[in-house]
Amino acid sequence: MLIQCYAILGWVLFYCLAPLLLWIPLSNPRYRVHFRERLGLLPLRRLKALGGGPRFWIHAVSLGEVKVAEAFAQAIRRHVPDAVFVVSTITPHGRRLAEEVFREQALVVHSPLDAAPCVKRALKAVRPDVLVLLETEIWPLWVAAADRMHIRTAIVNGRISARSIKRYVKLRAFFRPVLERISLFSMITAADRDRILAMGAPRERVVVNGNAKYDLLGKSIRPEDAERFRRLLSVDEGQPVVVAGSTRTGEEETLLKAFRRVREVFPEAVLVIAPRHLERVREIEALVKRSGFFCELRTGLEGPGRRRTAPVVILDTFGELFGLYSVANLAFCGASLVPLGGQNPLEPAAWGKMVLYGPWMDDFWDARALLEAAGAGETVHDGDELAERIIWHLAHPEASGERAAKGRQAVLQNLAAAERHALEIVKLTGPFTL
């Protein structure tokens, strides 16, 4: 009953907002390009050109999920060589990356709005054999429409954070009938399995297969990146570099205070700040200057005769953070000194770097546990502790390096999750039963 109410509300909102939906693309060219796809009008001619094999629609919201989608597509194709893929994203950045990654190997589209007419039109046009929703993308109308059309739906690389489960459980009466229509829940950890069960998922459809992002890390390491970014940052082999990745509001000030203490001991140290949201670059630039540091933007470092001279660099480009970890002596993971769940500490660890983070790593507790068991991850609670641990690691490079190497080994030992998830997806291409 709740799903029907949600669907009716979606219809009402869709038609009430129709004039606005038409006005947005007409008034702003930025939204005009793929507006038809938002309404469920997909370029089927391009889809037919990909062949007539089993169709897999993979919905990937973020940049990280697009990379996971690539790993799944490769693994599925090893078992189903003529597989056809549709990859949907929500953001322009996600779409650009998906087009880069998949090229002519998949139809890349903007996902239709979660409104009944849009979803129904898109699914009816594509008729996928399996609809794959990555991580925690539970879209009620997508699931309901797919169920009515006998399209199998799977939650894959499923993750339910400790922060969100209390909210989800309160809405169990809404989620349970949605989850009952899903054919497979291929979760990352046993804790994720327990949480999706608490939300109402049928126990017999829930499996645990690890984190497919581990697979990507091993394949993404390119030794040449270290030399390229060392030249870009104009740093010598032994010069200390700290990379703070995916930082959020309230963290940069703490980082800069800690870095001031680090520079007293290591005057040549360089700090690279990579904000999670690039629209904050100017704000951070002003904060750095108020803190008494000179800073430069990454985009200003290239070109004839250009050479970094500032102790602080702000990353103002997409897609380069992972490569930048290659030149770090150690890394800090953002969204963790503030209660926002943290960021993935395995990315720097895959390069063999020691990783520091704040106490709020709820969204990546499994990755944190993996690194701490290897001695390659440490929790810091404030700026003073952050400064102390950075100084210690820079002063003890051999001991720090040994611990970081163990972290890299732990990451690489956890590969092949994408293959396990993919096998579960392929099984769903059989006759439709629920």
Residues 6+ apart with CB under 8 A from 110: 34, 37, 38, 88, 89, 90, 95
Q: Please state the φ and ψ torsions of residue 317, each to the nearest 5 degrees.
A: -130, 160
377 in Cβ contact with 357 (< 8 Å): yes
Q: How far is CA 394 from CA 23, 226, 326, 328, in A?
A: 56, 18, 16, 11
State yes or no: is 180 an active-site residue: no
Which tokens go with 400? Answer: 């720090």
- DSSP annotation of 142: H
374 in Cβ contact with 407 (< 8 Å): yes
Q: Smallest Cα–Cα separation from 133: which of 108, 113, 112, 157?
A: 157
Q: How far is CA 396 from CA 288, 386, 387, 391, in A?
A: 28, 16, 14, 9
Catalytic residue, chosen from 37, 65, 252, 378, is 65
3-state secondary structure of 331: strand
Cα 161 from Cα 342, distance rounded (Å): 11
Cα 336 from Cα 343, distance rounded (Å): 7
Q: How far is CA 275 from CA 244, 282, 312, 384, 412, in A?
A: 8, 11, 13, 21, 27
Cα 353 from Cα 393, distance rounded (Å): 11
User: For 291-396, where are the alpha helices, taking DSSP H only?
Assistant: 321-324, 346-350, 365-374, 383-395
138 in Cβ contact with 164 (< 8 Å): no
Sign of CA dihedral 157, 356, 324, 317: positive
Q: Smallest Cα–Cα separation from 322: which of 398, 243, 379, 399?
A: 243
Cα 251 from Cα 363, distance rounded (Å): 18
175 in Cβ contact with 2 (< 8 Å): no
List the catalytic residues. 65
